[in-house]
Amino acid sequence: MRTQYCGQVTETFVDQTVTVAGWVHRRRDHGGVIFIDLRDREGLVQVVVNPDTAEVFAKAERLRAECVLQITGNVIPRTEGTINPNMTTGKIEIVATELNVLSMAEPIPFQLDDKNVGEETRLKYRYIDLRRDEMQETLMLRYKVTRSMRRYLDDNHFMDIETPILTKSTPEGARDYLVPSRTHQNKFFALPQSPQLFKQLLMMSGFDRYYQITRCFRDEDLRADRQPEFTQLDIETSFMEEEAVMDLMEGLTKTIFKETIGHEFEGDFPRMPYSEAIQKYGIDRPDLRIDMQLVDVADLLQDIDFKVFAAPAKDPKGRVAALKVPGAGSMSRKDIDAYTKFVGIYGAKGLAYIKVNDLSAGVEGLQSPIVKFFPDQVMEIMQRVEAQDGDIVFFGADNAKVVNDALGALRVKIGEDLGMLNGKFKPVWVVDFPMFEADEETARMTAIHHPFTQPKATTEEILNHDEPEQMLSKAYDLVINGLEVGGGSVRIHDTNMQAAVFKMLGISDEEAQEKFGFLLNALKYGCPPHAGMAFGLDRLVMILGDIASIRDVIAFPKTQSAACLLTEAPGLVDNDQLADLALRFRKPVRGEA
Has 276 been labeled as part of a binding site? no
Q: Which residues have C-beta within 8 Å of that of residue 201, sequence separation ≥ 6?
A: 518, 519, 522
Question: Which distant-in-sequence residues (6+ apart) come within 8 Å of 160 by Cβ?
Answer: 150, 153, 154, 210, 211, 212, 213
Residue 433: DSSP 8-state: -
39, containing H or E segment? strand 33-40
- Residue whose C-alpha is closest to residue 413's, from 355, 482, 350: 482
**411 labelled ligand-binding:** no
Q: Using CA atoms, how far apart are residues 493 and 69, in angstroms rounded to an integer?
A: 60
Confirm or deny that 197 is annotated as ligand binding. Answer: no
By three-state DSSP, how is residue 385 classified?
Answer: coil
User: Considering only CA atoms, which of 126, 104, 136 is closest in space to residue 39?
Assistant: 136
Q: Is 220 annotated among the ligand-binding residues?
A: yes
What share of residues in the chain are helix, strand, coil (percent, to 5)?
35, 25, 40
219 is in an annotated binding site: yes
Please check if 296 is assigned to a binding site: no
Q: Measured at the alpha carbon of residue 116, what is the angle toward residues 115 and 122, in degrees to the nearest 5? A: 90
Strands 209-217 and 229-238: antiparallel
DSSP 75-131: EEEPPTT---TTSTTTTEEEEEEEEEEEE--PPPSS-TT-TT--HHHHHHTHHHHTT
Rounded Cα distance between 504 and 445, Å, is 7
Q: Identify the bridge partners of residue 209 per DSSP, sorted by sequence position.
A: 237
Q: How far apart are CA 539 and CA 478, in angstroms?
A: 12
Ligand-binding annotation for 509, yes or no, is no
538 is in an annotated binding site: yes
Q: Is 268 annotated as a binding residue?
A: no
Contact 16, 4 (CB under 8 A): no
Tell me: is residue 484 an annotated ligand-binding position: yes
Dump strand ranges (E) for 383-422: 392-399
Helix or strand (DSSP H, E) at 489? strand 483-490
Cα separation, 570 vs 223, whole angstroms: 19
Q: How far is CA 209 from CA 65, 202, 212, 340, in A?
A: 50, 9, 11, 50
Say if CB 34 and CB 27 are below 8 A apart. Answer: yes
Q: Tell me how far apart the alpha carbons of residues 269 and 243 are, in angstroms, rounded to a whole number.
A: 12
For the chain, how far is it from start to end, CA to CA, in angstroms? 64
Taking each helix axis from N to C end, the angle separating 495-504 and 509-523, rounded to the nearest 10 degrees, works out to 160
Residue list, annotated binding site: 172, 218-220, 227, 449, 484, 491, 536-539
Residue list, annotated binding site for ATP: 218-220, 227, 484, 536-539
Residue list, annotated binding site for L-aspartate: 172, 218, 449, 491
